[in-house]
């Protein structure tokens, strides 16, 4: 038989691919993955193990330059992959899939669609390298949990990890194997719309929550089909957008970058997060997508992180709009050289990288490194072993939006509620009260509690406040309801694009206020549900006014004239300017956008089935003019002098928060005393124990978040007036006292110093322990040289 060169080449390729598949089948099960001894993470997520690296080498050696570039391409798949192509664009994407020139898809989110899209690749492409399928699973997939900012108010790492486990389970049951979460941007400006998507203003809290989320999403073994690859975003500085305007410039110094913004990302890398996403913003003139120091030198170099970096949507192409690249080709050159591995929806790499490699403007070794990183994630997910492992129709039927998941959603939601004010112990209410009026534009809203980024959460599927109250009270309690005023005109409807549908607020129609006042007159207590629509916060939803929009304050003022017993049920996605409302009412519950079980969770707290334990992860201002506002400010050279003009403050508002970071009340009272240090002096590498007694002096069982803060009094850089360095959440029975102990060591005390390294500097430190960032119990200790 005559054998030509083409036949011989195909035969060699087939043999090599067979060898790869045999290796995969033999070694890919989790029991045979060899971990690198130097890897400090406890899981098997993304590591440089020898077996996987050999498999990557084998695949890489077979790939053409077009196939390599294809692995760095991600398309959005908002079309019916199970049906015919509906446009030229769709046909183009299908052709690329068949050629094996696509590495990942996003927005393909059902078993049928994922299976069909994967089939196109596996049955048509030469090397049959499976696809990644990504999706924005930010606070739940179909079972919706509180928005991340709200969930962070629980200060409960176990419950946050559990909600991430469920999110991963539901997403993976629908074919998804990669989610674009958690967002670990520290954000201090309430005007920024995406503050709802993070964990607030504090670096330490954001860090530990981010790690908990990554553990929940990825589990201990990424090849488990119930887990997904996580994505730490946005690298870096996105939450410091100037003036709180989304996508805006970041003006921040090198030391603040390292001390405030980067620690959560370093912890994510150490935790084995599979992927990073870069940010839209520039930092001091360098867009993050093209930031070589951040992506290649620090993340992949100094931190030795082996995963891959994906651009944010179109951010490589946006280097042109930044004025950092003249065209798509130059943008590709900058981004790839800087360490941005995968191009999400810019169509840049596929158009330019091949030519850039030929011209030696991009080294082939850097392309290979990017491809290697993408393949590494696919191998660890087990996709080479079974490309259809996430395509299980039975799981899609049973593992999504079930009662067990809804029960957890309710638990998370009630733990996320923060009691901001409770004069005269108005709360909790008796379930047997004679009457209650549920009033407000959000009182019977079943959509707003789902919040922004609700993935596959169904429109109007949340339990409303009104429904929760009706289910909680006795059959003899009269429940009145009136909307009072509409918040928006019109609201966003099913199928509408939240990014293109404008929000128009009701500023004229007061016709419902009269009816609301009438029911308020008849009720013992008024529950007034006001705040923000679900789409007032989120991406592209920055605001200069963070107060109550529309006619909500007018409604409150009218009700207050006839009934003083008002509980504001605040539903929102950001810290709001609620000063005037706070002065008018005895009780305020911060309820955020709590997700699928919102109304039931709020009722649990209102009627005392659950004693609120939430603490604020962000500061609430007296006025928007204070923003950006955060508790761990620096002292300045003129910090004092309340009776003087020339000090660092405002003449028309307080300097600090209305409701500060870490603050939250309970239906009981906790007393702190006997703050003790086991030594007053330690060496640079030493440690000391801090202990405090916490007593429940009330008559109701309750949980308290005990918080530890420190201050480095003199440093080579000006240090914050106090910084959170630990917390413990615990339950106390009435009259019970527990001793809480914290360990302070070099990890607690180090910072990125003027020497441009992490170190502990000798000197004096103050330490506080209490129930908020305003903790008063204080001791002092010293650190001395070895």
Q: Is 12 exposed, middle or buried (0-12, 13-18, 19+ CB in 10 A)?
A: exposed
Phi-psi category of residue 630: left, alpha or beta, with phi > 0 → left and psi -120 to 50 → alpha: beta
Question: Cα angle vertex 338, ends 293, 265, to 5°?
Answer: 55
The tokens of 744 are what? 């302070």
Q: How far is CA 652 from the centre of its chain?
A: 34
Backbone angles phi, psi at 729, to 5 degrees: -105, 130
Helix axes of 50-62 and 364-381: crossing angle, nearest 10 degrees: 120
* Residue bearing tokens 């045979």: 32
Alpha-carbon distance of 284 to 249, in angstroms, equals 8
In contact, 552 and 485? CB cutoff 8 Å: yes
Element (H, E) at 766: strand 763-770
Q: How far apart are the first and last CA of the chain?
A: 80
Rounded Cα gap, residues 663 and 107, in angstroms? 38
d(CA 409, CA 154): 13
Cβ–Cβ under 8 Å, residues 200 and 614: no
312 counts as catalytic? yes
Structure tokens at 17: 């691919």
Q: Is 659:620 a contact under the CB 8 Å cutoff?
A: yes
Instruction: Confirm if 51 and 27 have CB atoms less than 8 A apart.
Output: yes
Cα(390)–Cα(226) distance, integer angstroms? 8
- For CA atoms 186, 192, 198, 200, the dihedral sign is positive
Tell me how far CA of residue 396 lies from CA of 38, 101, 219, 399, 650, in angstroms. Answer: 38, 28, 20, 6, 56
- Calculated CA dihedral for residues 17, 21, 27, 29, nearest 10 degrees: 140
d(CA 19, CA 736): 65
What is residue 762's DSSP assignment?
Answer: P
DSSP 656: S
701 CB contacts (<8 Å, ≥6 apart)?
Answer: 611, 668, 731, 732, 733, 734
Q: Where are the alpha helices (DSSP H) in 473-597?
A: 513-522, 552-560, 579-584
The angle that helices 552-560 and 513-522 make with each other, rounded to 10 degrees, is 40
Active-site option among 90, 282, 312, 712: 312
- Token pair recorded at residue 638: 């003129």
Residue 254 CB-half CA count within 13 A: 8
> Which residues are marked as active site?
312
């Amino acid at each position: 038989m005559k054998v030509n060169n083409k036949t011989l080449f195909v035969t060699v390729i087939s043999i090599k691919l067979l060898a790869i598949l045999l290796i995969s089948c033999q070694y890919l099960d989790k029991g045979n993955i060899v971990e690198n001894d130097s890897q400090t993470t406890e899981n098997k997520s993304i590591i440089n193990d020898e077996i996987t690296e050999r498999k990557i080498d084998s695949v890489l050696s077979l790939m053409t330059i077009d196939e390599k570039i294809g692995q760095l391409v991600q398309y959005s798949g908002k079309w019916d992959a199970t049906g015919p192509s509906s446009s030229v664009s769709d046909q183009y994407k299908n052709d690329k899939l068949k050629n094996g020139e696509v590495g990942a898809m996003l927005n393909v989110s059902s078993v049928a669609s994922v299976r069909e899209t994967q089939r196109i690749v596996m049955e048509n492409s030469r090397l049959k390298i499976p696809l990644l399928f990504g999706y924005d699973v930010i606070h739940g997939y179909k079972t919706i949990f509180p928005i991340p900012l709200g969930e962070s108010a629980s200060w409960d790492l176990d419950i946050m990890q559990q909600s991430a486990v469920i999110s991963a389970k539901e997403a993976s049951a629908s074919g998804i194997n990669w989610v674009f979460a958690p967002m670990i941007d520290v954000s201090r400006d309430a005007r920024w719309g995406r503050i709802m998507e993070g964990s607030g203003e504090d670096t330490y809290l954001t860090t530990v929550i981010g790690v908990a989320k990554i553990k929940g999403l990825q589990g201990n073994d990424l090849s488990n089909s119930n887990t997904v690859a996580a994505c730490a975003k946005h690298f870096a500085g996105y939450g410091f957008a100037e003036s709180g305007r989304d996508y805006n410039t970041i003006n921040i110094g090198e030391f603040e970058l390292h001390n405030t913004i980067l620690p959560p990302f370093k912890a994510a890398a150490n935790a084995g997060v599979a992927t990073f996403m870069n940010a839209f913003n520039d930092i001091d003139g360098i867009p993050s997508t093209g930031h070589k120091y951040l992506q290649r030198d620090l993340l992949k170099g100094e931190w030795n992180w082996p995963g891959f970096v994906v651009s944010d949507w179109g951010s490589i192409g946006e280097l042109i709009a930044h004025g950092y690249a003249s065209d798509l080709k130059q943008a590709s050159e900058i981004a790839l050289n800087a360490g941005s591995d995968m191009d999400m929806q810019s169509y840049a790499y596929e158009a330019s990288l091949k030519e850039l490699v030929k011209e030696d403007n991009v080294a082939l070794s850097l392309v290979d490194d990017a491809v290697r990183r993408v393949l590494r994630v696919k191998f660890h997910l087990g996709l080479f072993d079974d490309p259809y492992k996430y395509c299980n129709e039975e799981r899609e039927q049973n593992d999504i939006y079930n009662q067990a998941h809804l029960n957890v959603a309710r638990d998370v939601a009630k733990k996320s509620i923060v009691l901001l004010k409770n004069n005269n112990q108005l709360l909790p209410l008796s379930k047997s009260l004679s009457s209650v009026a549920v009033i407000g534009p959000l009182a019977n809203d079943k959509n707003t509690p789902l919040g922004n980024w609700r993935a596959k959460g169904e429109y109007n599927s949340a339990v409303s406040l009104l429904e929760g109250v009706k289910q909680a009270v006795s059959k003899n309690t009269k429940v009145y309801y009136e909307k009072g005023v509409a918040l928006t005109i019109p609201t966003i409807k099913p199928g509408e694009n939240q990014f293109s549908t404008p929000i128009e607020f009701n500023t004229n129609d007061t016709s419902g206020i009269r009816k609301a006042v009438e029911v308020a007159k008849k009720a013992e207590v008024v529950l007034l549900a006001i705040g923000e629509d679900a789409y007032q916060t989120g991406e592209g939803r920055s605001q200069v006014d963070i107060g109550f929009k529309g006619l909500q304050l007018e409604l409150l003022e009218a009700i207050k004239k006839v009934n003083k017993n008002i509980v504001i049920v605040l539903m929102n996605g950001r810290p709001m300017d609620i000063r005037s409302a706070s002065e008018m009412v005895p009780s305020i519950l911060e309820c955020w956008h709590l997700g699928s079980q919102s109304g039931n969770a709020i009722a649990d707290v209102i009627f005392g089935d659950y004693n609120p334990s939430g603490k604020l992860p962000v500061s609430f201002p007296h006025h928007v003019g204070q923003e950006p506002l955060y508790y761990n400010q620096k002292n300045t050279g003129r910090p004092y002098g309340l009776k003087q003009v020339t000090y660092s403050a405002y003449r028309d508002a307080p300097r600090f928060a209305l409701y500060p970071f870490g603050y939250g009340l309970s239906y009981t009272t906790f007393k702190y005393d006997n703050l003790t240090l086991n030594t007053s002096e330690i060496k640079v590498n030493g440690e000391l124990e801090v202990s405090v007694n916490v007593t429940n002096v009330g008559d109701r069982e309750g949980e308290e978040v005990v918080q530890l803060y420190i201050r480095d009094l003199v440093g080579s850089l000006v240090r914050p007036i106090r910084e959170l360095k630990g917390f413990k959440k615990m339950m106390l029975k009435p009259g019970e006292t527990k001793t809480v102990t914290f360990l302070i060591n070099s990890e607690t005390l180090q910072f990125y110093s003027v020497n441009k390294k992490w170190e502990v500097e000798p000197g004096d430190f103050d330490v506080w322990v209490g129930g908020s960032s305003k903790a008063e119990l204080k001791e002092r200790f010293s650190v001395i040289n070895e």
